[in-house]
Amino acid sequence: MKRQTLAALIAAAFALAACNDDNKQAATQPAGESSTPAVQTASAAPEAPAQSAEADVPVDQLPVIDAVTTHAPEVPPPVNRDHAALVKVKMETVEKTMKMADGVDYTYWTFNGDVPGQMIRVREGDTVEVEFSNNPSSTVPHNVDFHASNGTGGGSAATFTAPGRTSTFRWKALQSGLYIYHCAVAPVGMHVGNGMYGLVLVEPKEGLPKVDKEFYIVQGDFYTKGKYGEPGHQAFDMDKAIREDADYVVFNGHVGAIAGDNALKSKVGDKVRMYVGNGGPNLVSSFHVIGEIFDKVYVEAGKLVNENVQSTLIPAGGAAIIEFKTDIPGSFTIVDHSIFRAFNKGALGQLVVEGEDHPEIMTKKLSDNAYQPAGGAATGAASGASAPAASAPAASAPAAASGASAPAAEGH
């Protein structure tokens, strides 16, 4: 009996062990089964890079397009392409004397004859071929560093070009955004300080939302032997540049380049986009449009978007994309809100908006009465005589760049 009981126990133990083995195999089987789809998924992965197929097209098979470039404040037209291309850009460095301000001349070092250099507009995924010429009249070699490119020096070595020579190289626009380009020949600060900078817009593959008006603006700081407004030809002052003691801070290379007869133009209801760069070489811009709030700011021209912004910082060698809607007519003063730069060094522009008034958004002055203390009679000394100065239109603000004090009403 004992033997039978013992045999039964042993048999039960073997049966239990066999059951446990089966359970273990069953437990491990799903993992084995799930690994098969994982392998299949991995093997199917090569189908995913359909988006990058465009990047695999050899350069010699891309359609060739001559870039449409524009002098500031004009902007090249939207790309409107759904494929990559080989975009050919011609650049020429020219050293030329031009007007800095009324009665003041300066010898600028330029890309394509003005400051800033021409704006370039391409599409993410494009290959850009640059034909870079240095005019025979130049006194020094020049080159270009494209912040929009990925590679050592931004192409500065490939484009290092002596006077009377032409160099060619290519770079691929891998990332969308708005980027500075500038000369990078030593002393770099002197080349940049003489005006050698511009902007490249790399549109995302899906393009940018449509707007009514686009403008191209680049701020720069200049260092001259003479003080602001001192007449005659002014030479570059290296000591002032090293001290970052700018005599001129201007938009688009010249005092009044986007003011007065050169003011930017728009209409009520327009959606406006400004491509704003800062060539430097030293100062950070506090960019502001008096009387407007920026609906969107693409911070440092990247993908981060801030909304409802009054002023935005733009670093030297950086950029921002700014969008807003024009709600009422008038002259809107564009400034670097480091405010002495605006009213005493030249960083003033204008956006003139035409169209129907909207008093529900802002009225004109509703009353102008003599000052009356609480509980007292109006004082004889107080009058409306000084009121016109307080309500002077923003259109007069650029005149203050000569050093005159700005109307109090303009601070915003």
The 8-class DSSP code of residue 406 comes to P
Query: Across-strand partners of 123?
Result: 203
Pairwise CA distance, residues 43 & 6, whole Å? 55
Euclidean distance between CA atoms 81 and 63, whole angstroms? 11
- Contact between residue 89 and residue 250 where contact means Cβ atoms under 8 Å apart: no
What DSSP letter does each residue of 187-200 carry, written as one string? SHHHHHHTT-EEEE
Q: Which two tokens stand for residue 57?
A: 């097209």
Distance (Å, whole) CA 408 – CA 412: 9
Other CB atoms within 10 A of residue 302 CB:
15
Question: How far, in Å, CA of 179 to CA of 126, rounded?
Answer: 15
Both tokens assigned to 268:
């009520």
For β-strands 127-134 and 86-101, DSSP reports them as parallel
Q: Are 222 and 268 in contact (CB under 8 A)?
A: no
- Residues annotated as binding site for Cu cation? 142, 147, 182-183, 191, 196, 337
Query: Residues forming the annotated binding site?
Result: 142, 147, 182-183, 191, 196, 337
Task: Please tell me the distance from the alpha carbon of residue 204 to that of residue 208, in angstroms, as a whole number.
Answer: 7
Q: Are strands 294-298 and 318-325 parallel, antiparallel or unpaired?
A: antiparallel
Contacts of 6 (CB under 8 A, 6+ apart): none
What are the residue ranges of helices labelled H in 226-312?
238-243
- What is the spatial distance between Cα 127 and Cα 144, in angstroms, rounded to a whole number? 16
